[in-house]
Structure formats: C-alpha cells, structure tokens
Structure 1
Amino acid sequence: MTPSNNLLKQEYETIKTMIRMYCKKIHDCEEGLCQECSDLLNYAEERLNNCKFGENKPTCDTCSIHCYKPDMREKIREAMRYAGPRMIYTHPIMGFRHLFKKMKMKKKENLEE
C-alpha cells in the first residue's frame, strides 16, 4: 500500500528509486531488491503512511521529529547518500524535485530563526 496523497506518493517513489539504485549497485541485485533493502523500503513506506505532517512533510534531514529507528535511519541515509547525487543523471526530474524541496525547507527554517 502506497501513501494516499500525491506529495507523499512522490516522496515514496523517490525513496523507492533511491533504494533500488543503491541495492542494484551495492548489493548487486539486478532484479528487485534484496531482503534488507525490501525491509527498508517497507519501513520507509510505513513511516510515510504515518507521518503526522502529511502533505507538509519536510525532508527527513530537516524534520523536527525523527521517526526512524536509529538503525533504519542509518540505512536510509546510506542509500540516500549513494543514490541522491546519481539521481540527477538517471532520474533528473525526481532528483531535482527532491533537491528543491530540501532547499525550500532549509530556507523556511532559516527564516523562522
């Protein structure tokens, strides 16, 4: 089950793409995801479905609430650290959308200070 509103669906698709890129290269999975990455994707989906911010969800690194367990947070960071820069070349629209959202949230955070 994917998140219900469009912005969270986009966020889910971005996370799914990042995890797939990471799993393919780091875990050598040509088809689908390995069990570890599949568990990570399911966990990320659950977190998105239960996000209290809904459509106003910030990017995870700018969020005031850290809803990921520490071990899962480290795994998602690792996948994002690998896939994020590469998405600009392989999935440019998705990559730029994520980058602009992150910049927008940081700008908003700076204005509130």
Structure 2
Amino acid sequence: MARVDSARVASKREREKRMVSEMIALYCRKRHGARRGELCPECAELAEYARRRSDRCPFMETKTFCSNCRVHCYKPEMREKIREVMRFSGSRMIFHHPVAAIRHVTETKAEERRLKRERDA
C-alpha cells in the first residue's frame, strides 16, 4: 500500500511541477518575448525555485494546490512572482493545455467542497 501511495504522490508532484513550468513558460513567452522552450533568467529562476518547493513539500499527499495550503513555503518575493504568473497564465491555459485546465477547475471545485464540509462539521 505504501508503495502505491508513494507512486501516486510522486506522480502528483511531477504533474504539479510540469504544470507550473508550463504556466511560467507561457508567461515568459507572452510577457518577456522568450522563444518556445526557453526562459528568460528571471523566469528560469522562478521555475527552478517552484520545482524545489514542490520537491520538498511535506503536504503533497493531501493538498490540491499551493494556494490552498495552510503553510506558505515561498519567500514573499517569489510568492508575489508566482501569483503574477498564475493570474496571467491561468485563464490562458484552456487554449494551451485544455485537459490540464479542466482538471484544475474540477480539482479546485472539489477542494472547495471539501473545505466547506470541514468548516461546517
């Protein structure tokens, strides 16, 4: 059972890192003029930082998204940068990665229902 759980958590961690990287890449292409497959130094630093945070996240098994986490492990400066990326890229992901965008919406709604049930209990 533990092996299945650890494989599920590892898969979830990799999916999260891939999605954040895609969002940063989209942001960098549109805002900084980077070519596909490349990032400017600032965005490359943010992408690496986000991957490290995800690698070290102790709540990966139970959390859905960092924005719903009780512990914010990003430094304030990096947290503001990732918020800007998310605000910009979030609504555009439906055109670039529709399956991932729909998955995100359904997981967000499920998480909102779960948190509401916990509050009401």
TM-score (norm 2): 0.85
Amino acid at match of 2:94: I
Shift of 1:55: 2.7
Provide TM-score, normalisation by structure 1: 0.91
Aligned residues: 110
Partner of 1:58: 64
RMSD: 1.2
Give the CA deviation at 1:112.
0.4
Partner residue, 1:8: 13
Q: For structure 1, which runs of at least 5 residues remain unmatched after alignment?
A: none
Counterparts in 2 of 1:1-113, with a 5 A limit? Answer: 5-31=10-36, 32-113=38-119
Runs of 4+ in 1 over 6 A off after TM superposition: none
- For the pair shown, the structure with the greater C-alpha radius of gyration is 2
CA shift for structure 1 position 58: 2.4
Structure 2 spans left out of the alignment, 5+ residues: 1-8
Whole-Å separation in 2 of the counterparts to 1:57 and 1:50: 13
- Equivalent-residue separation in structure 2 for 1:37 and 1:47 (angstroms): 15
Give 1:78's aligned amino acid: E
Output the CA distance in 1 between the equivalents of 2:51 and 2:63: 14
Q: Which amino acid in 2 is paired with 1:14?
A: M
Whose relative contact order is higher, 1 or 2, with alpha carbons under 8 Å and at least 6 apart? 1
Deviation at 1:57, TM superposition (A): 2.5
Partner of 2:6: none
Contact 1:62/1:106, CA 8 A, preserved across alignment: no
C-alpha distance in 2, partners of 1:22/1:95?
A: 15
Q: Deviations over 1:26-55 (max 9, x none)?
A: 011114000100000000001100101123
**Aligned-partner residue type, residue 49 of structure 1:** D
Q: Offset of 1:17 from its aligned partner?
A: 0.5
